[in-house]
Amino acid sequence: MSIYTEENSDYLTNNNSWHVEDSEWKSKQILRMVSKNKLGLKTVCEVGCGAGEILKQLAQSELLRHCQFSGYDISIDAYKMSLSREKENLKFYHEDLFQKEVHEDLLLMIDVFEHVPDYMSFISATKDRSTYKIFHIPLDMNVLGILRDSPMRDRNKLGHLHYFSKDTALATIKDCGLEILDYFYTPALEVDNKTLNQKILNPIRRICYSINPDFTVKTLSGYSLMVLAK
């Protein structure tokens, strides 16, 4: 049984904030990608929007203040949390977007497809739903993560079913028929600096990343990938 459905509240039990605390940081990464690529947008939609805080942050940004926003999530728990964030240009739906005939300028999938059993069909289904797509993908497949058994912890706590490196993430998106326009790493260490391990590791990550980003991401964990595709 999915941990996101009405019959199962395991995700909310394990993640009672629905990661709202990370939403401002994630929205800044999205705005960076939109600005960098000078995307002209009128509509923005997020699949798996959770509590809706990312869309709320985007809706009140100067860059996208003129856009209409919509968020979809199959979890009733997430939908109930999102309703308090609705406003004139931001609406939420407890529905499956792929069951509707819609087309958006930009479709967001922020930390989503690693949760989906048939993730390639899921990504492929985005092709005709928007002009542009932005994916944010945790890079769980790294040396330190494997040594610390992080993939299994993320599977049990976060519901991650698939684990990616930069290369496998990009290859997956291409194999689903999409064209990759741009990508960059996002350092979770900017928001994760609470535990003793993080306080010790994060300065090392920063130094190593300044020398060799790819090597650091493959070995020391703590990074995700933001991808723009069409």
Q: DSSP readout, 49-84?
A: -TTSHHHHHHHTSSTTTT-EEEEE-S-HHHHHHHGG
Which residues, in sequence order, are bridge partners of residue 8?
none
Which residues make Cβ contacts (< 8 Å) with residue 19, sequence separation at least 6? 50, 51, 111
pTM assigned to the model: 0.88
pLDDT lower than 70: segments of the chain: 1-19, 190, 192-194
Angle at 171 between CA 186 and CA 120, to 5 degrees: 100
Residue 80: per-residue pLDDT:
93
Residue 131: per-residue pLDDT:
97
The terminus-to-terminus CA distance of the chain in angstroms comes to 32
Residue 39: per-residue pLDDT:
97
Q: How far apart are CA 26 and CA 168, in angstroms?
A: 22
Task: Tell me the residue type at 225.
Answer: L
According to CATH, the superfamily of the domain at 10-188+223-229 is Vaccinia Virus protein VP39 (3.40.50.150)
Residue 9: per-residue pLDDT:
52
Residue 41: per-residue pLDDT:
97
Residue 3: per-residue pLDDT:
46
